[in-house]
Amino acid sequence: MSGRNTALREADRPTHDEGPVVRQIFQYLLLALLVVVAATGVAGLAGSVLTMVLDGSSAVSRSTLASDVAFTAVGLPLLAGLGLWSRSTLAAHERERRAAAWSTYQVVMALGALVVTVAAARPALAWLCGLGPAAPYATATAVVWAAVWAVHWRLCRHLADPTAAQLHLVGGSLFGLGVGLLGLGLLLAAALRIWLGLDEPPLAGSSDPARASALTLALGTAVWLRYWVWGAWRTRRGVLWLCHVLLAGAGLGLLLAVAGGSIALYRVLVWVLGDPASSDAARHFDSIPAPLAVAVVGLVSLAYHQQVLGTTTPTERTEVDRVRDYLLAGIGLGAAATGFTIVVVALAEAIADPDVLAGSGPINTLLAALTLLAVGGPSWWRFWRRGQRAARAEDVTLAGPELTSPTRRLYLFGLLGLATLVAVGALLAGAWVLVDALLDGTSALALLRRLRWPLGILVTAVGLAAYHWSVYLGERSRSAELTRTRPTAAASGPRFVLLLGVGDAALARDLAGRTGGEVWAWSRTETAAGTPAAEDGGLSGSWSVEDLHAAAAGAEVPEVLLLAEDGELRAVGLDRRPPVTGRAPSTVGAEPHQR
């Protein structure tokens, strides 16, 4: 009796206990706070000691020293006590190690310590290399938080949740990639300024922007190698992995390349064809190294992450290839659409006021638009053409994966929807401007000048919607052609086939497609000996659709029964008649397929 009561009490317990969850949230939140307090105090004390050694005790603020001592004296003992208790709890309970609060604590603290370490290491290394002022506090902060990061790195290596473990590696990879690309861009910009003669080479012992940027590049590269090359790159290629490679790597890389390349090309075109603000080449091109460096950095990121994803032929495309191509095509199309809109605006402005062409503003605006078209157009066409080639290469008699791909459909309908919304907004804005101008008695040319932006946006949106709608209609017509041609091309055989214990639903559907007629599949519930048969009659696995089609067509009768006798397939001619009494025989396994 007591055993039964115990079992009942166990069954009555709630399956989800909120108590431990709330306790875990506050426990690990307090643990994270104590880590920050203790690390801040220890780093501050170490920095004060270094400052005293370098500049004397008078260089240290008493209030700063008092706060550092308080943080250390209070934070360290509390951290030690809570850490030991948390360790014993984790060691005793498997559920505790799998808790979401514990995984979140490890990931957040590891990435937070990484960010603080890199931010403090940059001025510390500059000081140690003679490229910046003394930074004793930054040096102490970098050392202390590097120790905090190392502890949490070891903890994250034993994360029970694989998603949290990958999130830690992908987050660190993203941070390292950003810092590394920033350092590379600053280094290239500084080198280009010296190479173009815009800056003089630094003297010995003076501040060197190129070497200072190289420190940033080295820090970012070290983090990226640790987290990506020796970490995240080897993990499962799931959603987090693909988001990092596609969005942060390839997508952001193309965006940087388009933006930097457009700005640099615009500066060149204005100097050659437009009206520059200054006739001094050095002053005009003073800002060109930065966008050039951004473009190079973007191309490097794009090329590397495309190589990571791999290149495939149109017939071997995967859904990842489609996501990459349509994402990059959308970025290029956005730049090209912006350029085309500005072209329409400039043309409308020139028609409204021909004298405006004599100024420098419209010419430079038109050059900016042509630059966006020149950079964004080829980028869009390169990646969009891959999908178009794959779609056109598919046999019209087959439901090809490119035409039915959810990524392609999302791209087409997403652009259609966005273009429609933008067109409606531009139309409303244009209607408001038109009514307001008519009420004010504005002239036609002045009205055209006021309508130039709604008109440009409307023309671009309508053009995009019309093009992608025509693409969708073409693909829909190919699907309709598939529906019309596929059954008639393969139809040959009797108009009715009854499968008795020799086929299942899949075989019935395949046979209906080959004969173009109606196919029923009946399963036997008992064999000749009276023993139960398998769900498919026990014989469907012995016959292929080719065997069934050959036997049905070989009978040369309009209606045929196929059954197995003594291991052989037998075809019996039928003459179906309406039932005299009772219900019509029900189909088993497959719905009738009509010609």
Instruction: Give the highest mean pLDDT range of 376-385, 437-446, 477-486, 576-585.
Output: 376-385
- Cα-flanking dihedrals φ and ψ of residue 582, to 5°? 80, -175
Please report, rounded to a whole number, the percentage of residues in the chain having pLDDT higher than 90. 50
Q: How confident is the model at residue 166 (pLDDT cuts 50, 70, 90)?
A: very high
Per the listing, tokens 């029970």 go with 160
Q: Over 466-515, what HEC string results?
A: HHHHHHHHHHHHHHHHHHHHHHHHHCCCCCEEEEECCCCHHHHHHHHHHH
The neighbouring-strand residues paired with 564 are 569
Angstrom distance (rounded) from CA 311 to CA 318: 10
Mean pLDDT of the chain: 84
Between residues 346 and 9, which one has the greater pLDDT? Answer: 346
| CA–CA distance, 388 with 143 (Å, rounded to integer) | 54
Q: What is the pLDDT of residues 420-441, one digit of tens each?
A: 999 999 999 999 999 998 888 8
- Which segment of 29-33, 61-65, 376-380, 515-519 scores lowest on mean pLDDT? 515-519
Q: What is the 3-state secondary structure (H, E, C) of 136-198?
A: HHHHHHHHHHHHHHHHHHHHHCCCCCHHHHHHHHHHHHHHHHHHHHHHHHHHHHHHHHHHCCC
pLDDT for residue 158: 87
Q: Is residue 117 scored above 80 in pLDDT? A: yes
pTM of the model: 0.74
Residue 488 has pLDDT above 80, yes or no: no
Between 190-199, 291-300, 358-367, 554-563, the lowest mean confidence (pLDDT) is in 358-367
What's residue 502's pLDDT?
75
- Phi, psi for residue 365 in degrees, rounded to 5: -65, -45
- Percentage of the chain beyond pLDDT 70 is 83
Residue with tokens 């189909």: 587
For residue 16, pLDDT over 80 is answered with: no
CA distance 402 to 313: 13
User: With bands split at pLDDT 50, 70 and 90, how would you rate the model's confidence at 265?
Assistant: very high
Task: Describe the crossing of helices 100-128 and 209-224 by its angle, rounded to 10 degrees.
Answer: 150
Which of the 8 DSSP states describes residue 562?
E
Over the range 404-429, which residues count as b (16 or more CB within 10 Å of their CB) and which as e?
ebebbeebbeebbeebeebbeebeeb
Of 413 and 394, the structure prediction assigns the larger pLDDT to 413
Rounded to the nearest 5 degrees, what angle is found at the Cα of 512, between the Cα atoms of 511 and 513? 90
